Structure 1
Amino acid sequence: MDFKTFTQRCILVISLVIAVLLIAFGIDFFFMLFASVVLAVFLISIAVKIKSWLKIKYGLALTISVLLIVIITVGTGFLIYPSLNEQAAQMQKEIPQSINKLREHLSQTSWGKDLLKNIEDQGGIVKGNKKDIVNSATAIFSATISSFANIFVVLVIALFFAADPHLYKKGLLYLIPARAVRKADKLIHKCYETLANWLKGKFLSMGVVGVLTYIGLIVLDFPIPLVLSLIAMVLTFIPNIGPIIAMVPAMLIGLVKSPEQALYAAVLYMIVQTLESYLITPYINKKAVDLPPALTLAWQVFLGIFLGGLGLFMATPLLAIIFVLVNDLYVKDYLKKRSADLS
């Protein structure tokens, strides 16, 4: 082995070690960066549509896209704020009542009494550790401030990406050997198309879930249907796990009236989730990657454990990109070519 080859291999090993260390210690930053890319793809896809419709320059189309999103968000907020504020206050009153109702039902069974006794024992432990509670509350407050700061950073980076996507793509292609630039360019475009199609289908399915949930809650004569339907709509962004989380407050509020009402809420959410998973999303999102449900759920749980909420929200789009890369770089380029060579 000559000195040049030895040096190249040492540089490669050192680069891999540095990359692993950066990923291990800066995983939150990389996921924030990926969230910025996802948001930038959303903005770019809207701007491209407006550009083609109005026959204007991309920069002006992006400005119009951002203004439209801001106007729609703020306008919707002003329209629903009075009702939302009233229903949120009602929700704060009814959830404690539903918890007390649940305690009453549990106290009527032997296993329920044991469960309540364990909860009360935990409550005694909590009362004896007021200092820990204060520290935990301080940590939660700090985490909330940090989350808002992270969201602001994600928004700013996404705007920079969306403002000149070709600049960043060109910079990425500079890092790739000349013989692979054309293929890498096609792969970047395919990843963009995959994310754009996935986001389009996801936002449309979120809207449909919100409307169906709202109609179902109105039919069931549920209190605060607007708040519950908005929660269901937002959490639909997280496949599999999100709808289950959204069902919990609805069941608790239904329990205030009766156990049957809580059961009706569960049935409603399961029906809407079934329609969303097997009819709405497959119909809307035909061009996106078809992700296996079991693998998606396992991936969400894995990232949720290590990264919390950010991991849950970004798990599915990241898995979609991984599928594209594995399919194009490993299955098509390596496995199929190797099979052809062997045959």
Structure 2
Amino acid sequence: MKFGQWVGFTLLIFSLYIFWEIRQLILLLFTALILAEALSILVLKLQEFGLKRSQSLLISVGFLFAFIIGAFWLIIPPFIQQIEELVKLVPAGIAQLITTLQEIGTQFDPELIQALPTFNELIGQLQPLINQIANRGLNIFYTSLGMILSLVLLLALTLMLLANPTPYRQGFIRFFPSFYRERVDRILVQCDQTLTRWLIVIMAHMIIMTLLSWIGLLIFGIPLAFSQALLSGALTFIPNLGPVLAMIPPIAIALLEASWKPWAVIILYTIIYITIQQLDKRILASRVLKQHICLLPGITLLAQIFFASLFGFLGLLLALPLFIVSQIWIREALVKDILDHWRIS
């Protein structure tokens, strides 16, 4: 390589090292970007009704603060109260499940009992992994500022990105050579459009899961239906793993109620999942996702494992939007602009 190419390569390696060192801050910025993207959907919808952007921004920000205040005033207190009971009931339900499996095992093979872990052994094996993921994901919040001030910083970044995104966008584009900046701008447009479509779909998933699970758990008489429905809706944000994790608390609690209720919960969540998938194919995918997002389940699962190991819990939570953005950049910048034009002289 020529001297200029060596300099460019060295600067690239140095830039990657800097990005790695501040990866938690970048993740915080990406979280604010996702929140701003979600609020911008509401801004655009209000503008379709003839409102100016400034008016739409004020209404959207007012809606955000009203939601936060309403959540702390109406939703969070009963949710916290039910979560405290949930934390007590779920371990008891899991212990009951292990006991039931042991009873079934004695009917087939008594030696099978020795292979089944006890509840304490199960928790002991999972605890290091849970602590590792949680600590990596929440390190950014436990700075000298404290968790509350960090959340305020996240909210402030979100509002600044929402109010005037152009300077931040132009600043990012200027990191690239002048001949490639127009191309970067087009790639950013693709990322913005794809994330917007995905956010609309995932928010619809979360609302459907919350409402249907709440109604179903109330019908079956499962305790703490409200908190479990909210938890199920929130976990739906995580594809593949989220719906599975959402089933664990209601099944564990149903084991303490009646023998038929765990099966009822499994059938309920299976029906909800199938309903969401059918709505995806017939309504959401056709009307919202005009350009189909190719997210193969196997690759999505690998992406979740990768980002969770890299960033912890926040990486798992944001794995899909991170994967979507990475997929677009790899396809456009690496494959189309470099590999497709690579010729051996």
User: TM tier, shorter chain?
Assistant: 0.7 to 0.9
Q: Is the 8 A contact 2:206 2:233 kept in 1?
A: yes
Q: Are residue 102 (structure 1) and residue 102 (structure 2) matched?
A: no
Task: Give 1:74 deviation, angstroms.
Answer: 2.8
Whole-angstrom distance in 2 between the partners of 1:81 and 1:10: 56
* In 2: Cα distance, 1:327 partner to 1:83 partner: 46
Q: Is the 8 A contact 2:94 2:252 kept in 1?
A: yes
Quote the residue 2:313 is aligned against.
Answer: 309
Distance 1:14 1:326, change over 3 A: closer
Aligned counterparts, 1:147-226, within 5 A: 149-226=149-226
Distance 1:94 1:277 in 2: 31
CA distance in 2: counterparts of 1:306 and 1:95, whole angstroms:
29
For the 8 Å contact 1:232–1:243, the answer to whether it is kept is: yes
1:91 aligns with 2:86: yes
Give the whole-Å Cα distance in 2 for the aligned partners of 1:179 and 1:106.
Answer: 64
Map residues 61-100 of structure 1 onto 2, 5 A cutoff: 61-75=56-70, 78-80=73-75, 84=79, 87-100=82-95
Aligned equivalents of 2:312 and 2:78: distance in 1? 31
1:106, 1:112 within 8 Å by CA — same for their partners in 2?
no
Look up the match of 2:264: 264
Task: Please report the TM-score for the alignment, with normalisation by the length of structure 1.
Answer: 0.80
- Judged with a 3 Å threshold, the aligned counterparts in structure 2 of structure 1 residues 103 and 119 are, in CA distance, closer, same or farther, namely closer
1:115 Cα deviation from its structure 2 partner: 5.5
Moved more, 294-303 or 35-44: 35-44
The answer to whether the Cα contact below 8 Å between 1:300 and 1:316 also exists between their aligned partners in 2 is yes
Decide which structure has the larger Cα Rg and report it.
1
Letter in 2 for 1:267: I
1:248–1:328: structure 2 CA closer, same or farther, 3 Å change rule?
Answer: same
- Distance in 2, matches of 1:44 and 1:121, equals 47
Once the 2 structures are TM-superposed, how far is the Cα of residue 312 of structure 1 from its aligned partner? 0.8
Shifted more, 80-89 versus 10-19: the winner is 80-89
In structure 2, distance between residues paired with 1:84 and 1:159: 27
Picking from 34, 37, 48, the partner of 1:38 is 34
Cα 1:281–1:195, aligned 2, differ >3 Å: closer, same or farther?
farther
Asked if 1 retains the 8 angstrom alpha-carbon contact of 2:79 and 2:226, the reply is yes
Residue-by-residue CA offset, 1:20-47 (whole Å, 9 max, x unaligned): 2223333222222211221222223322
Does 25-34 or 240-249 show the bigger shift? Answer: 25-34
Aligned CA distance change for structure 1 residues 260 and 250 (closer, same or farther; 3 Å): same
Partner Cα separation in structure 2 for residue 271 and residue 44 of structure 1: 32
What is the RMSD of the two structures over their aligned residues, measured on CA atoms? 3.5
Measured against aligned partners, the alpha-carbon deviations of 1:221-260 in whole angstroms (never above 9, x if no partner) come to: 2222111111110000000011111111111000002343
Give the distance between the partners of 1:281 and 1:86, measured in 2 at CA.
38
* Aligned equivalent of 2:289: 286
Matched residue, 1:326: 330
User: 2-side partners of 1:37 and 1:120: how far apart?
Assistant: 40
User: Structure 1 97/172 Cα, relative in aligned 2: closer, same or farther at 3 Å?
Assistant: closer
Whether the aligned pair in 1 keeps the contact of 2:94 and 2:119 (CA below 8 Å) is no
Structure 1 residue runs without a partner (length 5+): 127-131
1:279 corresponds to which letter in structure 2? Answer: L
CA distance in 1 between counterparts of 2:315 and 2:77 reads 33
Choose 36-45 or 308-317, whichever is displaced more. Answer: 36-45
Change (3 A) 1:333 1:120: closer
Cα distance in 2, alignment partners of residues 246 and 231 from structure 1: 7
What amino acid is aligned across from residue 21 of structure 1 in structure 2?
A: Y
**TM-superposed deviation, 1:100:** 4.7
Query: What secondary structure is seen at the aligned counterpart in 1 of 2:86?
Result: helix
Q: CA deviation at 1:106?
A: 4.3
Contact 2:93 2:255 survives alignment (8 Å): yes
Amino acid at match of 2:43: A
Indicate the percent of aligned positions where both proteins have the same amino acid: 25
TM-score using structure 2 length: 0.79
1:129 corresponds in structure 2 to none
Q: Tell me the CA shift for residue 327 of structure 1.
A: 3.3
CA drift of 1:97 comes to 4.0
Alpha-carbon distance in structure 2 between the residues aligned to 1:324 and 1:206: 25
What letter is aligned with 1:294?
G
Query: Aligned pair 1:273/2:269, yes or no?
Result: no
Are the equivalent residues in 1 in contact too, given 2:95–2:119 (CA < 8 A)? no
Comparing both structures, which one devotes a greater share of its residues to helix? 1
Q: Is the partner of 1:199 in helix, strand or coil?
A: helix
Q: Secondary structure at the match of 1:257?
A: coil
